[in-house]
Structure 1
Amino acid sequence: MSIDEKLLALGITLPAAAAPAAAYVMHAQSGDQVFLSGHIAKKDGKPWVGQLGRDLGTEDGKQAARLVAIDLISTLKAACGGDLGRVKRIVKVMSLVNSTPDFTEQHLVTNGASELLVEVFGDAGRHARSAFGVAQIPLGACVEIELIAELA
């Protein structure tokens, strides 16, 4: 089953690839690796604002991270010239979770993205990962995630 067929089976329609909101590009390739800029969580097309441990719970954050992963896949598709079959593997994911000082489930929030990447890319979606709690994310978003992938 192709990546596009897997997305269809999961009921996922990729949005248009996001445009940069400041002085950067959405992806940059070096050799066989492509580096995706951080993508923030969006709900109904607007930043999903909130802080984990104050405004949002772990399950909300996990859903936000899943939505970020969908946006990342869209940008990855653009970086691959429209062919997600070129993705050899997801190498690394870094997740920033807007959270209170006492919130300690950043790793569980980030599972929302990690689990989707494995659903979509299979074993090639298994990746190294970091998940951090931060005091603030641009526009007040609850989650921001960046990704590194290897292309064929």
Structure 2
Amino acid sequence: MQIEERLAQLGLSIPQPKSHTSAYRRWYQAGSLLFLAGAPPVSEDGSFAFVGKVGRELSKEEGKASARLSFLNALFYLKDAISGDWGRVLGCAKMVVYVHCDPSFSEVHEIADAASLLALELFGDSGPVRTSLGCATLPANIATEIELVFHVT
């Protein structure tokens, strides 16, 4: 089954973020590893959907929604890198979830779980190893940023 069909079954879709002007690439392939740049929680209109610190301005549930949206935005990068050929994706090898949170917020792993569970829904047993980090700040005050590495043909 195609990833986009599975997303549709879940009531989700891959956002189409506007082009960026920052000085970085969205992806880089080295052999069979495809590295994706950190993806923020960008909404369809190009704005950041979740801004602020989880555990302060944002609830844990909003943090989870931000992580899911960041993951979906990363899939936009992936789709571009594989020219839409989902058959090239063998699995999601690694996920790093950065959570902009209040220093007292100790449930960073639960925010990251929202993205990990979505990866497992889409890629099955080839879901990622993961690191989750609580951060004092992220660019533009966004709530989450997700960096991924995929195994591709």
TM-score (norm 1): 0.92
Q: Percent identity, please.
A: 37
C-alpha contact (below 8 Å) 1:17/1:75 kept by paired residues = no
AA aligned to 1:83 is D
What amino acid does structure 2 have at the position aligned with 1:60? E
Does 2:92 match 1:93? no
Mapped partners of 2:138, 2:59: distance in 1:
17
Distance 1:65 1:98 in 2: 11
Name which of structure 1's ranges 7-16 and 126-135 shifts more when overlaid on structure 2.
7-16
Structure 2 residues not aligned, in runs of 5+ = none
Match of 2:68 in 1: 66
Number of matched residues? 151
Residue 20 (structure 1) shift: 3.7
> Could you report, residue by residue, the CA deviation over 1:109-150 in whole angstroms, capped at 9, with x for unpaired residues?
0111111111111112x1111111111000000111110000
Stretches of structure 1 lacking an aligned partner (at least 5 in a row): none
Please report how far the alpha carbon of residue 11 of structure 1 lies from its aligned counterpart in structure 2 after TM superposition.
2.0
- The 1:121/1:67 distance shift into structure 2, 3 A limit, reads same
Alignment of 1:1-152 (within 5 A): 1-16=1-16, 19-43=19-43, 45-47=46-48, 48-124=50-126, 126-152=127-153
Change in Cα spacing, 1:17 to 1:150, as seen in structure 2 (3 Å) is farther
| Distance in 2, Cα, partners of 1:8 & 1:120 | 11
Q: Distance in 2 between matches of 1:92 and 1:25?
A: 18
Query: How far, CA to CA, are the matches of 2:18 and 2:147 in structure 1?
Result: 13
Decide whether the 8 Å contact of 1:20 with 1:26 is kept in 2: no
**Counterparts of 1:7 and 1:31 in 2: how far apart (Å)?**
28
TM-score for the superposition, normalised by structure 2: 0.92
